[in-house]
Amino acid sequence: MKPLLIIIAILSSGWVYAQPFSAYINAREEFYVFDNGAINRLEAIKPLTYKVGRGAVAYIDNARNFKVFRDGSVTAISDLFTTEFEVSDNLILYKNSKIISVIDGGDVVLLSRLCDRYAMGDSIVLFYDINRSTFNAYYGGKITELETFLSLDESDFSFDSTVKVSDNVGAYINYNEQFKVFYDNQVETLENQRVKEFKLGRNTVGYIDINNQFKIFHKGQTYTIDPFPPKSFMVGDDIVAYHGNDGNFNIFHDGSLHKIGYYEPNYKVADRVVAYADPNGYFKGFYDGKEVMIDNYYPDKYSMSYNSIAYVNKANVLRMFSKGKVYDITSMSLEDMKLDYDVLQFKVGFNTFKMFYNGEFYN
């Protein structure tokens, strides 16, 4: 494994966002990365696995070396030791045996030498340190102890059940059944009794309390939205979409409530966008506080990421909604397509990969 100081020196240029990124493996099993309009071949042999973040692409190559591509170059982080890794907007987390570390800008930070449970958002990591029996948060270069003397029982500290992370916020139910949120490097108790359900997005937590009240924590303030639990709800970045107990479909966005209509909605939330069928069955996107018409029917299948939605419509046209605008991409027969943040990657023919980002085509 490379010494920590060498890694820091290599990464010391800092995290300069070169978004958009995308990556693919071609028919020859070569590994390519799309980096802000340029396509780079990183490896002649396909990696064992790779993940695309907003500012980097991380991967384990064919020889089991963990590498990071950013700022136009590849850095080897560790040799043979990395067993897990995650990539987000701002962080790269990697695990060597039970040691977890994060690359945050130009810094490499050791979080724990003995950890078996963790979750990462865009700029936050919640993790359990076995040596110290403490539950901790990492955010903004600082490690904060949240709880101590926790039981080692999985049921007392279970991610996606009692502990959840998204973007810049974490929420959890502790061993005293208190519901707490970690936001802006502060811990706050939202409820002294166990909540029934909770979901997270950037700056935002939606939850149903012990009394079945529907509440939203947003940017440090808690709103009681409804005295009754919603029929369904989803949380994104500064967004909560929900089908209320009264039958109304509403979207809470950045402190304001938008009433969509009284009906049973088909809808999904991802990051900063809501995709849904309106009362007339039209396909709409909600972005930055506004509703935008996408199509005159609601498709069975579509992809969502960050600010974007992509799907193939009834006319066999690949269509994209991104940052409030609708684009018709191509009517050619597709072999494959995917969204990496707001980069739409699509494959036409046997081995032709194309990219669309912010109104521009790249190949």
- What is the tens place of the pLDDT at every residue in 191-248? 999 999 999 999 999 999 999 999 999 999 999 999 999 999 999 999 999 999 999 9
Tokens representing residue 2 in the block: 């490379």
Write the CA distances from 273 to 222, 247, 305, integer angstroms.
22, 22, 8
Find the mean pLDDT for residues 67-91.
Answer: 92
307-346 pLDDT per residue, tens:
999 999 999 999 999 999 999 999 999 989 999 999 999 9
Find out whether 106 and 14 touch, Cβ atoms under 8 Å. yes
Q: How confident is the model at residue 350 (pLDDT cuts 50, 70, 90)?
A: confident
The yes-or-no verdict on residue 19 having pLDDT over 80 is no
Number of domains composing the chain: 2
Of 91, 113, 135, the last residue of a domain is: 113
1 within domain boundaries: yes
The yes-or-no verdict on residue 16 having pLDDT over 60 is no
Of 56, 87, 113, the last residue of a domain is: 113
Query: For residue 11, what is the enclosing H or E element?
Result: helix 4-11
How would you list the strands of the sheet with 186-191, edge to edge? 163-166, 169-173, 179-183, 186-191
Task: Report the distance separating Cα 291 and Cα 300, nearest Å.
Answer: 20
160 within domain boundaries: no
Query: For residue 326, what is the enclosing H or E element?
Result: strand 325-330
210 within domain boundaries: no
244 within domain boundaries: no
What local confidence, expressed as pLDDT, does residue 12 receive? 47
34-49 pLDDT per residue, tens:
998 889 999 999 999 9
Find out whether 137 and 182 touch, Cβ atoms under 8 Å. yes
64 within domain boundaries: yes
What local confidence, expressed as pLDDT, does residue 148 receive? 87
CATH number, domain of 82, equals 2.40.128
Q: How confident is the model at residue 349 (pLDDT cuts 50, 70, 90)?
A: confident
What local confidence, expressed as pLDDT, does residue 154 receive? 52
Of 52, 84, 113, the last residue of a domain is: 113
The number of CA neighbours under 13 Å toward the Cβ of 147 is 26
Write the CA distances from 41 to 18, 32, 129, 335, 344, integer angstroms.
16, 4, 39, 21, 19
pLDDT-wise least confident of 69-78, 200-209, 223-232, 289-298: 69-78
What local confidence, expressed as pLDDT, does residue 1 receive? 40
What local confidence, expressed as pLDDT, does residue 267 receive? 98
22 within domain boundaries: yes
Amino acid occupying residue 45: I
What local confidence, expressed as pLDDT, does residue 6 receive? 41
Burial of 360 (0-12, 13-18, 19+ CB in 10 A): exposed
Find the mean pLDDT for residues 88-94.
Answer: 95
What local confidence, expressed as pLDDT, does residue 14 receive? 47
Find the mean pLDDT for residues 110-118.
Answer: 94
Q: What percent of the chain has pLDDT over 90?
A: 83
Contacts of residue 160, defined as CB under 8 A and 6 or more positions apart, other chains included, come to 119
pLDDT-wise least confident of 71-85, 89-103, 208-222: 71-85
Tokens representing residue 214 in the block: 């529907």
What local confidence, expressed as pLDDT, does residue 20 receive? 76
Long-range contacts of 93-97, Cβ-Cβ distance < 8 Å, separation of 24 or more: 93/118, 93/120, 93/125, 94/58, 94/66, 96/1
Largest CA distance in the chain: 60
30 within domain boundaries: yes
SS (H, E, C) 16-29: CCCCCEEEEECCCC
Task: Report the distance separating Cα 16 and Cα 71, nearest Å.
Answer: 7
Find out whether 100 and 109 touch, Cβ atoms under 8 Å. no
The yes-or-no verdict on residue 3 having pLDDT over 50 is no
157 within domain boundaries: no
Q: How confident is the model at residue 101 (pLDDT cuts 50, 70, 90)?
A: very high
Q: Print the domain residue range for 65.
A: 1-113
- Encode burial over 44-59: b for 16+ CB neighbours within 10 A, e otherwise: eebbeebbbbbbbbbb
What local confidence, expressed as pLDDT, does residue 36 receive? 82
Write the CA distances from 113 to 6, 116, 132, 170, integer angstroms.
20, 10, 10, 22
Find out whether 177 and 189 touch, Cβ atoms under 8 Å. no
Write the CA distances from 189 to 232, 238, 254, integer angstroms.
24, 20, 22
DSSP string computed for 102-144: EEETTEEEEEESS-SEEEE-SSEEEEEETTTTEEEEEETTEEE
Over the chain, what is the mean pLDDT?
91
Q: How confident is the model at residue 363 (pLDDT cuts 50, 70, 90)?
A: confident
The residue count of the chain comes to 363
Tokens representing residue 73 in the block: 């170059």
